[in-house]
Amino acid sequence: MTDTVTTDPIAARALGLLDALGVPAPEPGELGARTPITGAVLFPVRTDSPADAESAIERAAHAFRGWRTVPAPVRAAVVRRLGELLVTHREELGGLVTLEAGKIPAEAVGEVQEMVDVCEFAVGLSRQLYGRTMPSERPGHRLLETWHPLGVVGVISAFNFPVAVWAWNTAIALVCGDTVVWKPSELTPLTALACHTLLRRAARDVGADPEVHQLVLGGAENGAVLVDDPRVALLSATGSVPMGRAVAPRVAARFGRCLLELGGNNAAVVTPSADLELAVRGIVFAAAGTAGQRCTTLRRLIVHRSIADELVGRLAGAYGQLRVGDPTDPGVLVGPLIHERGYRAMTAALERAVADGGEIVSGGTRVDGFGPDAYYVRPALVRMPAQTAIVREETFAPILYVLTYDELDTAIELHNAVPQGLSSAIFTGEQREAERFLAADGSDCGIANVNIGTSGAEIGGAFGGEKQTGGGRESGSDSWKAYMRRATNTVNYSTELPLAQGIRFE
């Protein structure tokens, strides 16, 4: 595949995986493919220019003209084939996710499985893009709505789900008849090249136009081209709240559509009736999994005062057993933080928490031995006297703040008193408490769970959150509607011309 000569074993492994995936050798350029496992830059990768981004939009807009008239079940053939290729290459793509994002293999392969799942969902969806028929108030008239492809969908994605978020958007957009321009995170160019190659191969395998998918590598400057270009009908942007704050008004200014999937500050309430054994398992996976770098990571625990000491004790015990280290080592459950900035954010947050009276019960320290540029940390468990400003912020690292409550109403108030609104959970053995949490005056999040943690959503449901999380919904249920435009049609099959509301105009 490539003439690139490298002595770094991780770089060699990355090149081997790209080769197995059939990805052409990355062209050298200013972007460095980096691994958080050692912090090493593996090899340089080309970055696109803003002019390249514009050309990509042009190509996608051109491809849209043909793609929109291909019947949806026929369009689905590309997505079906992509799913097959992903099954074939599950381990290789998962391997690249591990090298680039630092996920343990189980989670990395799980991310690829999520792509397979959404492909299956989208294929079925291609025969279910239903419009409704409504009774017309006029005799001899038919009133209905039809759904049509929207245009070019711009996808901006974050580093922490480098492949699944792309698949959520792309599989659905393609069956809906849209074409896609993807600007992945600048931190994960290799997985992006792999996905782009597989999608293009899928299109060619089934005789479809590979131009329906375009890839633009680079940073925010290229994302900004997608943001401002009126040919991008929908901008689906996944990332931090500041990113959403920067892009949303600009898309709105040109009357474009935005689908925002931004930061979360997810909490779980644990009531005295909870099965603590189950709660501990759910909490540890949600708080420490992916080294706290999921949008749905559990960041706040709101525990009834009567069980707080016991639960914190059990959690501290479980945290003590978590193996932190090279994610490719068997038995490791917590891999590295993505970069130094993530580590600095974590230490700064812990300092602020302690200054606010917080007590670090477990973790919070750096784990050495992986080189100066690799950032491994022990997940932190911090008891807080109150929900102070730092607790209300999303720190994209494994910190779990523990707060206590006496009345469930207070717990729900605390739960909702943050600017973000992505995922939430209650651990309880009482149906009344569970229903209270799920009610209109309960959790204000887009995802509200009972007796499971905040992370690890299935693709069948709509995924997204409220408030500063941005209000977008992706993946399952009727999220597809964001990727299509609706037309209301009134058909007169009579010989009269009655007007609506009985208006006479004679």
- Cα separation, 142 vs 132, in Å, equals 11
Residues between 182 and 211 with contacts to ligand NAD, criterion CB under 6 A = 183, 185-186
Minimum distance from residue 235 beta carbon to ligand NAD (Å): 9
* CB contact burial 29-41 (16+ within 10 A = b; e otherwise): eebebbbbbbbbe
Q: Which residue has the tokens 């960041």?
A: 299
| 3-class SS letters over 462-484 | EECCEECCCCCCEECCCHHHHHE
Between strands 141-149 and 133-134, the pairing is: antiparallel
Contact between 92 and 109 under an 8 Å Cβ cutoff? The reply is: no
Sign of the CA dihedral running 454, 259, 184, 219: negative
Query: Pattern 393-422, binding to ligand NAD, x per CB under 6 A?
Result: -x-x-------------------------x
* CB contact burial 218-252 (16+ within 10 A = b; e otherwise): beeebbbbbbbbebbbbbbbbbebebbebbbeebe
101 binds ligand NAD (CB under 6 A): no
Minimum distance from residue 237 beta carbon to ligand NAD (Å): 6
454 binds ligand NAD (CB under 6 A): no
Strand partners, 269: 302, 426
Minimum distance from residue 158 beta carbon to ligand NAD (Å): 3
Minimum distance from residue 465 beta carbon to ligand NAD (Å): 6
Which of 37, 190, 262, 312 binds ligand NAD (CB under 6 A)? It is: 262
Query: Annotated catalytic residue: which of 92, 107, 186, 261?
Result: 261
247 binds ligand NAD (CB under 6 A): yes
289 binds ligand NAD (CB under 6 A): no
Give DSSP secondary structure letters for 241-257.
Answer: HHHHHHHHHHHHHTT-E
Minimum distance from residue 238 beta carbon to ligand NAD (Å): 5
361 binds ligand NAD (CB under 6 A): no
50 binds ligand NAD (CB under 6 A): no
264 binds ligand NAD (CB under 6 A): yes
Contact between 337 and 375 under an 8 Å Cβ cutoff? The reply is: yes
Which of 49, 136, 240, 451 binds ligand NAD (CB under 6 A)? It is: 240
256 binds ligand NAD (CB under 6 A): no
- Cα separation, 233 vs 483, in Å, equals 9
Judge whether 261 counts as a catalytic residue.
yes
Please state the φ and ψ torsions of residue 361, each to the nearest 5 degrees.
-85, -35
- Cα separation, 382 vs 83, in Å, equals 42
Residues between 462 and 501 with contacts to ligand NAD, criterion CB under 6 A = 469
Please state at what angle helix 189-205 crosses helix 72-88, rounded to 10 degrees: 130
78 binds ligand NAD (CB under 6 A): no
# binding residues, ligand NAD (CB under 6 A):
30
Residues between 123 and 182 with contacts to ligand NAD, criterion CB under 6 A = 156-161, 165
- Residue in the shown chain whose Cβ atom is closest to ligand NAD: 223
Who's near 435: CB < 8 A, 6+ residues apart?
A: none
Q: Which stretch binds ligand NAD (CB under 6 A): 130-138, 146-154, 240-248, 380-388?
A: 240-248
| 3-class SS letters over 87-103 | HHCHHHHHHHHHHHHCC
107 binds ligand NAD (CB under 6 A): no
Closer CB to ligand NAD, residue 283 or residue 295?
295
Closer CB to ligand NAD, residue 271 or residue 469?
469
Q: Which residues bind ligand NAD (CB under 6 A)?
A: 156-161, 165, 183, 185-186, 219-220, 223-224, 227, 238-240, 243, 246-247, 261-264, 295, 394, 396, 422, 469
Which residues are annotated as catalytic?
261
